């Protein structure tokens, strides 16, 4: 499976959401990182044929996906950021309906739905109405619908948004498990989601892919260092004004700061290992608030 | 897939409420239709229902047969006899009712006489009381001469072209006389209340149908729907199919039940009588029977429902809003009522789709359309125009929805 994005651009009036992206993907997990509004969802919607590009195109194994039409969507599984469903349908009916939408024959669909319900841990809730499920369960039903046609291309837009930490880890592991022998594109603004499961990470900002590579390559490419230092409380304000602080922890002896800087920020600072989170903050720091970088 | 689309529609609370309202509206309309046929007994007491209809049937069918000069003379004699009775001359309304009880068997013939012997645009309930035996022979001619006089009057002379006037007179002359008459109150009651139940069905069905193409957006299920293999082809066709199925199923169920209850209680006698034998149809230039009128009403209603509710689907597919699309039937039904007072618009109003839902009345209107020397009434035009528009809308609806982009 090979996907090529050729000069892909999407404009909404004067606003350019996706700006001339040219990139190639093959089987593996791709993590799309960026703050809210970076253009991740627009890019994914174009990959799912939900939006037509203003310029450029997308090829799947050398064929234009809009010309392929349903032949392309047959290969596709998509979990949107705002995962909507039919509230009065039971989990089973919902999945059977989506299976019908995906052109899966009823007999095969019943078998596949049963398997996936087991796999995502919703066996007990199979006959429950969708509206009665918790947020995590809804997301699991969402991944199940995306997997119904055993897609070769799996696109997950912010799949862990709104989940509690336990559910997020569980969900991440599920995605990892499902990602074998297919192309998975996972967008998030939560760094740890991609750090563990993505083979390649794309860092997106203002509609462009600014950095790409493995987690290690991206970390290695950061031109500055990360420092940790324990300082007195009254020094914190001055240091946060001067440097990008990726973490701040109050302790009895003072405050431990994690600072991203090309220079040693204070006498007692010690170099620390750089994490993907530090890189994210370094590149997107101006836009990323605390919430965006928090794990 | 069709099954799921129908299920989606009826899983919505709004759709369930709409069906409950339709059931209540149906019960009320049937009650009014059946109650509209009253019988006054010898004691002057009114009643309605199966027994009343049965007794009215017996009284009216004493006059069943061709309405020729002998029948009319007989009716005039009977009318005079009752008019001279103490009950009729009494100032007590119950006594008057007793007199009416003796007249109700020939009340339909009496009404026709009143129309025939007054000017075209007038109606005098007591005119029959002054009709002489010598005048009776001109009963059928008067229907035509009344029209001819009116067409030459100041009121109407510029209203119609010469071809249209000729057309109207030719239609009047083509009506088979003498009329065959029998009790037909079942058909009359059906015709009177059919627009009510058909319009209510369309208005109420607007609610579930408006959600058919908008619910994906309302529930934010659009992205999964349109990214699925069949989301932009077969699934769209399934939605259209579900819409047509729901409209067809519910419309015909309502019409079947309404017909069954009304005719079950009031009877189907009089199916072969011309609609001109009833008060409402006397002036109609459509020479049809009550049964043919019934077929026009139910078929017209179906075509009108299909057209209007497909338009609801189209607006819903375009705007993604159930709220906007649900207003379409209301606009189509109520705007013509507001504009009906503007005479220059009467020709246009006669061709609007609301006419399909009230065919029983449309066949009584003098809406004429001329192309060259050919003249026709509104009914054949709207019965052709709206099925064509319905079929034109289907591919448009399909294309509009399948090309949806999710921003």
Structure confidence by residue, pLDDT tens digits, B316-369: 999 999 999 999 999 998 988 888 778 778 888 989 999 999 999 899 888 899
**Domain's final residue, options A193, A214, A235:** A214
Cβ-defined contact of A82 to B215 (cutoff 8 Å): no
Residues A201 and A94 in one domain: yes
Q: Identify the CATH number of the domain in which residue A65 sits.
A: 3.40.50.300
Residues A171 and A122 in one domain: yes
pLDDT over 60 (residue A295): no
Of B137, B117, B135, B136, nearest in space to B127 by CA: B117
pLDDT over 70 (residue A289): no
**A139 and A130 in contact (C-beta within 8 Å)?**
no
Chain A nearest CA to B236, separation (Å): 10
Residues A96 and A198 in one domain: yes
Q: Is B17 on the interface with A (CB under 8 A)?
A: no
Q: What is the count of structural domains for chain A?
A: 2
Residues A210 and A258 in one domain: no
Task: List Cα–Cα distances, B70 to B57, B61, B145, in angstroms.
Answer: 22, 16, 22
Residues A171 and A260 in one domain: no
- Determine which of B224, B405, B406 to mutate to test the interface with A (most A C-beta atoms within 10 Å): B224
In chain B, what residues touch A86 (CB-CB under 8 Å)? Answer: 8, 11, 215, 219, 221
d(CA B220, CA B218): 6
pLDDT of residue A292: 38
Mark residue A212 as left, alpha or beta (left: phi above 0; alpha: psi -120 to 50; beta: remaining): beta
d(CA A228, CA A273): 10
pLDDT over 80 (residue B123): yes
In chain A, what residues touch B406 (CB-CB under 8 Å)? Answer: 45, 50-51
d(CA B243, CA B307): 11
Q: Is B221 on the interface with A (CB under 8 A)?
A: yes
Domain boundaries, chain B: 2-36+183-402, 65-181
**A254 and A232 in contact (C-beta within 8 Å)?**
yes
Residues A271 and A179 in one domain: no
Considering only alpha carbons, which residue of chain B is nearest residue A101? Answer: B230
Residues A77 and A186 in one domain: yes
Residues A224 and A208 in one domain: no
Angle formed at CA B157 by CA B152 and CA B161, multiple of 5 degrees: 115
In chain A, what residues touch B407 (CB-CB under 8 Å)? Answer: 12, 51
User: Mean pLDDT across chain B, nearest whole number?
Assistant: 92
Q: Is A42 exposed, middle or buried (0-12, 13-18, 19+ CB in 10 A)?
A: buried
Tokens coding A101? 């939408």
d(CA B381, CA A10): 48
d(CA A131, CA B224): 17
Considering only alpha carbons, which residue of chain B is nearest residue A72? Answer: B229
Residues A119 and A29 in one domain: yes
Q: What is the mean pLDDT of residues B105-126?
A: 91
- Determine which of A88, A139, A154 to mutate to test the interface with B (most B C-beta atoms within 10 Å): A88
Residues A201 and A258 in one domain: no
**Domain's final residue, options A214, A248, A273:** A214
Q: Is B6 on the interface with A (CB under 8 A)?
A: no
**B273 and B180 in contact (C-beta within 8 Å)?**
yes
Of A136, A146, A67, nearest in space to A102 by CA: A146
The interface pTM score, or ipTM, of the predicted complex is: 0.87
Residue A248 structural domain: 220-293
pLDDT of residue A237: 84
**Domain's final residue, options A199, A214, A229:** A214
Cβ-defined contact of A85 to B221 (cutoff 8 Å): yes
Most confident of A219-233, B209-223, B240-254: B240-254
Q: What is the pLDDT of residues B13-70, one digit of tens each?
A: 889 999 999 999 999 999 999 888 889 988 889 998 888 889 999 999 999 999 999 9
Radius of gyration of chain A (CA): 21
Q: What is the mean pLDDT of residues B275-290?
A: 90
pLDDT over 60 (residue B165): yes
Of B120, B172, B165, B143, nearest in space to B285 by CA: B172
User: What is the length of chain B?
Assistant: 407
User: What element of type H or E holds B375?
Assistant: strand B374-377
Task: List Cα–Cα distances, B186 to B25, B54, B252, B257, B394, in angstroms.
Answer: 20, 11, 19, 14, 37
Secondary structure E strands in chain A: 2-12, 15-26, 28-33, 55-60, 63-64, 76-79, 153-157, 183-188, 200-205, 208-213, 225-231, 244-251, 254-261, 270-272
Residues A42 and A112 in one domain: yes
Residues A237 and A195 in one domain: no
């Amino acid at each position: 499976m090979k996907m090529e994005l050729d000069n892909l651009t999407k404009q909404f009036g004067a606003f350019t959401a996706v700006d001339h992206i040219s990139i190639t993907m093959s089987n593996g997990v791709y993590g799309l990182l960026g703050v809210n509004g970076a253009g991740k969802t627009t890019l994914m919607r174009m990959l799912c044929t939900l939006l037509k590009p203003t310029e450029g195109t997308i090829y799947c194994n050398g064929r234009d996906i809009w010309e392929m039409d349903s032949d392309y969507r047959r290969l596709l599984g998509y979990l949107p950021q705002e995962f909507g469903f039919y509230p009065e349908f039971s989990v089973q009916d919902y999945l059977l309906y989506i299976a019908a939408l995906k052109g899966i024959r009823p007999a095969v669909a019943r078998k596949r739905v049963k398997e996936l319900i087991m796999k995502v841990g919703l066996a007990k809730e199979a006959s429950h109405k969708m509206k009665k499920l918790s947020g995590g369960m809804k997301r699991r039903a969402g991944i199940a619908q995306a997997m119904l046609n055993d897609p070769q291309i799996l696109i997950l837009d912010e799949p862990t948004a709104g989940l509690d930490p336990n559910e997020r880890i569980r969900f991440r592991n599920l995605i990892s498990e499902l990602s074998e022998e297919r192309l998975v594109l996972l967008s998030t603004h939560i760094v740890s989601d991609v750090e563990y499961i993505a083979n390649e990470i794309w860092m997106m900002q203002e509609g462009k892919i600014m950095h790409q590579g493995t987690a290690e390559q991206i970390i290695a490419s950061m031109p500055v260092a990360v420092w940790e230092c324990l300082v007195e409380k009254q020094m914190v304000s001055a240091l946060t004004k001067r440097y990008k602080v990726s973490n701040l922890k109050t302790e009895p002896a003072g405050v431990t700061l994690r600072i991203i800087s090309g220079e040693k920020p204070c006498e007692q600072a010690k170099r620390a290992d750089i994490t993907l989170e530090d890189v994210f903050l370094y590149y997107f720091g101006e836009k990323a608030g605390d919430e965006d970088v928090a794990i | 897939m069709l099954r799921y689309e129908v299920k989606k529609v009826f899983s919505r609370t709004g759709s369930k409420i709409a069906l409950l309202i339709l059931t209540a509206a149906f019960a009320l309309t049937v009650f009014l239709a059946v109650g509209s046929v009253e019988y006054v007994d010898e004691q002057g007491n009114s009643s309605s229902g199966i027994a009343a209809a049965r007794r009215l049937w017996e009284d009216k069918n004493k006059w069943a047969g061709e309405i020729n000069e002998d029948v009319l003379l007989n009716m005039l004699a009977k009318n005079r006899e009752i008019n001279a009775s103490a009950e009729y001359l009494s100032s007590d309304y119950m006594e008057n009712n007793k007199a009416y009880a003796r007249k109700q068997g020939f009340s339909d013939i009496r009404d026709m006489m009143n129309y025939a012997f007054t000017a075209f645009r007038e109606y005098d309930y007591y005119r029959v009381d002054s009709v002489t035996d010598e005048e009776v022979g001109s009963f059928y001619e008067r229907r035509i001469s009344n029209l001819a006089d009116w067409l030459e009057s100041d009121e109407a002379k510029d209203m119609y072209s010469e071809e249209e006037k000729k057309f109207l007179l030719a239609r009047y002359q083509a009506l088979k006389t003498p009329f065959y008459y029998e009790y037909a109150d079942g058909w009359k009651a059906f015709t009177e209340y059919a627009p009510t139940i058909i319009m209510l069905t369309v208005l109420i069905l607007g609610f579930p149908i408006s959600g058919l193409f908008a619910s994906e957006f309302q529930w934010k299920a659009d992205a999964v729907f349109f990214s699925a293999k069949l989301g932009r082809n077969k699934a769209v066709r399934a939605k259209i199919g579900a819409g047509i199925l729901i409209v067809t199923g519910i419309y015909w169920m309502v019409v079947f039940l309404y017909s069954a209850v009304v005719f079950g209680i009031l009877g189907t006698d009089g199916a072969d009588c011309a609609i001109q034998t009833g008060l409402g149809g006397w002036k109609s230039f459509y020479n049809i029977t009550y049964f043919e009128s019934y077929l026009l009403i139910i078929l017209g209603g179906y075509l009108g429902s299909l057209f209007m509710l497909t338009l609801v689907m189209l607006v819903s597919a375009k705007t993604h809003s159930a709220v906007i699309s649900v207003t379409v039937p209301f606009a189509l039904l109520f705007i013509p009522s507001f504009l009906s007072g503007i005479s220059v618009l009467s020709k246009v109003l006669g061709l609007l789709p609301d006419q399909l839902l009230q065919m029983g009345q449309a066949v009584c209107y003098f809406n004429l359309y001329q192309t060259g020397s050919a003249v026709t009434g509104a009914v054949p035009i709207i019965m052709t125009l709206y099925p064509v528009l319905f079929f034109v809308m289907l591919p448009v609806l399909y294309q509009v929805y399948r090309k949806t982009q999710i921003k």
